[in-house]
Amino acid sequence: MSRRRAPATLPGNLLVGRTAEARIERIVSGGFGLAHALGRTIFVAGVAPGELATVRIDRTPGKIAFGSVVELLEPSPARIEPPFPELTRLGADFQHLTYEAQLEAKLDIITDCLRRIGNIETELEIPIEPSAKEWGYRARAEWHHDPATGAFGYVEAGSHRVVDLPVDPFVVPALAATFAALRKHLAFAPEDAEPLAVRAAAGDDDRVALDPALLPGTECLVQTVVAGEHYAYDASCFFQTNPTVLAPMVAEALRHAGDDDPTAPSRRLAIDLFSGVGLFTLPLARRFERVIAVESHGRTAELAAHNIARAGLGNVRLETAAVEAWIGTAYKSHGRAPLLLVDPPRTGLPPVVVRGIVRLRPGRITYVSCDPATLARDLKALIAADYRLDGMAAFDMFPQTHHVEVVAHLRRATEPEPE
């Protein structure tokens, strides 16, 4: 009679609640520390590389586990006391690290995603541009009000609960003052009122726009200047969060569109997908004969047209359309684009857009991403379609969080046929 072998590891439901000592190997996607114990790969929040901790298993989806620290046995020299502990569950999941350690962890996340998701092993050096401000850097915010509890602040990660905040340390001073004014304004809301989301944006002159405009003077446009270009937008539009890294990020995105770059594509046409209010469209239009900008959000496209006209740029064709719909037939109308720039949302490029890009056969692709995981996924698909990774740079758009902005450059691995 053969004996049944004991399983190499306990079933996931029997692991939940168990504890074990674990050494944190590195920081990976999502800001988790990677460790191995109890026969599982464990992802642990709120840790630093090299730390030894007693970890409790909280959940076990599939063959991995997520855990939390019960006791820190060997803390890292990079660990500091979080200045705002209540913000850890509201996105500030790196505030327990020194700023230098935060930057190193973000580079670790990028390389982990490239290797694990994109199957990309690269020796490219990836520089990271620090933020000039570690707190008080956000010029955009979305606050929430729960009339039933009176809470005003941000929604807790993984839930629908609004966490009440007396102040908002994330935002620039003009928005911090607006946050305080809104707290007073909403304190009189009846308990049976509808829950409310308020979007806010601050310009260079500290003017604030709100959507909805709950305070006097907030139904307005705000203005931001980036590398000499003027941008107007309101609180309903997307615009990058951290003004202190915008100029170097734009310069990096346009690195291969400069006259001094011998590998630069021809100046015939540049395509800007997910173009927003024109952050990249305007400088591209000063370097190329023609630019096509595609933006799906009506109000955002309207303000992009305003910014293009204000800049006196007559060589931009602005398409108000979903990128997925536009790109399906774009290659028939425009042929090969020497340069294509994409700045998609956190979800990355839909498969239909990747296929459309491949049909357009751009000589170069610049990909601006706020999520290294979806970036790595899309780079894998583009590399499989005869592109090669030609350079990367990171920008700390979101200090105190695990999020990071990345600019990646690709070029065709083989020369295309002449047009």
Q: What is the pLDDT of residues 38-67, one digit of tens each?
A: 999 999 999 999 999 999 999 999 889 999
pLDDT at 130 over 90: yes
Rounded distance, CA 10 to CA 60, Å?
11
pLDDT at 261 over 90: no
- Does the domain spanning 1-79 belong to CATH 2.40.50.140? yes
Enumerate helices (H) and strands (E) in the chain, giving the number of each.
Answer: 9, 21
User: If DSSP codes are grouped into helix, strand and coil, which group holds residue 373?
Assistant: helix
- The distance of Cα 40 from the centroid of its chain, to the nearest Å, equals 29
Active-site hit among 113, 220, 237, 370: 370
Closest alpha carbon to 117 in 392, 395, 397, 348: 348
Determine the average pLDDT of the residues in 199-221.
97
Please indicate whether residue 370 is annotated as part of the active site.
yes
CATH of domain 102-132+238-412: 3.40.50.150
The pTM for the full model equals 0.93
CATH 2.40.50.140 placement within the chain: 1-79
CATH 3.40.50.150 placement within the chain: 102-132+238-412
The per-residue DSSP string of 13-24 comes to: HHHTT-EEEEE-
Cβ atoms of 257 and 288 closer than 8 Å: yes
Angle between helices 323-334 and 351-360 (to 10 degrees): 10
Q: Residue 391: how many CB atoms within 10 A of its CB?
A: 18
How much is the pLDDT for 331?
Answer: 65
Determine the average pLDDT of the residues in 189-199.
93
Determine the average pLDDT of the residues in 17-39.
95
How much is the pLDDT for 15?
Answer: 86
What percent of the chain lies above the pLDDT cut of 70? 93
Rounded distance, CA 354 to CA 365, Å?
11
